[in-house]
Structure 1
Amino acid sequence: MADSKVIILVELDVLSEFTEAVISRLQSSHPIALQHPGCDLFLQTSVEEDRSRIRLIEVFATHSAHQSFVALDSTKEVFAFLQGKLSAPPRVTRLRGL
């Protein structure tokens, strides 16, 4: 795989009783993501009608930059925190620019 820009959509459907806790945890991790070398964009959003349907849009300059972000302890801690708080496994979609 060429070391080119990586664009990922992560869809998290959170159990309603954990929505605020998950949002708070994601918000606390946001500055770490934005400061990571090679992170071009890291948006944390939710579906307008339902805050428990969280969508993350990640853009990294290269595949290796994304891989190093995934390997961070702080990233692993977020995924560990999500255990038992989602109504379904996270859906990850790789996107590409047109």
Structure 2
Amino acid sequence: MKDGKLYLLAEFSVKPEVLEETKNIFSTLLPIVLKEPGCEAMYTTSIEGAPNKLVFFEIFSSEEAHRFHMAQPYTQKLGADLEGKLLEPMKITKLNSF
């Protein structure tokens, strides 16, 4: 976080039978999140050869902007929306710029 920004990778291993439903949940949420103050980017991707492994690359202008994001009702609701859809708990990796 050398430049004050917060860079994150969020990884979701989704049960294959609910993959499209889960992608739709994220697709609906993405435009809302991108309008948040301090959300500079959010890319939704999957891993080649492992299509049920969804990886988000996120950039927030600060830790405070990320806290704002996490406090939003739609972000809070995401946990309930993903209930029973994941093969394992979500993994968040904090990245450093250089």
Correspondence for 2:25: 25
CA–CA distance in structure 2, aligned partners of residues 80 and 96 of structure 1:
30
Q: Please say if 1:94 is aligned against 2:84.
A: no
CA shift at 1:33, angstroms? 0.9
CA distance in 2, matches of 1:37, 1:44: 19
User: In 1, distance between residues paired with 2:44 and 2:77?
Assistant: 17
| 1:38 alignment partner in structure 2 | 38
Percentage of pairs with the same residue: 31
Q: How many residues align?
A: 97
For 2:65, the equivalent position in structure 1 comes to 65
Partner of 1:10: 10
Unaligned runs of 5+ in 2: none
Scaled by the length of structure 2, the TM-score of the pair is 0.93
User: What is the CA–CA distance in structure 2 between the aligned matches of 1:27 and 1:49, rounded to whole Å?
Assistant: 21
Deviation at 1:76, TM superposition (A): 1.1
**Distance in 2 (alpha carbons) for counterparts of 1:75 and 1:94:** 18
- CA distance in 2 between partners of 1:49 and 1:76 (Å): 30
Moved >6 Å (runs of 4+):
none
TM-score (norm 1): 0.93
- 1:79, CA displacement in angstroms? 2.1
**Which deviations, in whole Å up to 9, do the C-alpha atoms of 1:37-67 show, x marking residues without a partner?**
0011111111122221000111000110000
What value does the CA root-mean-square deviation take over the aligned residues? 1.6
The Cα shift of 1:84 comes to 1.0
How far 1:80 moved relative to its partner? 1.6
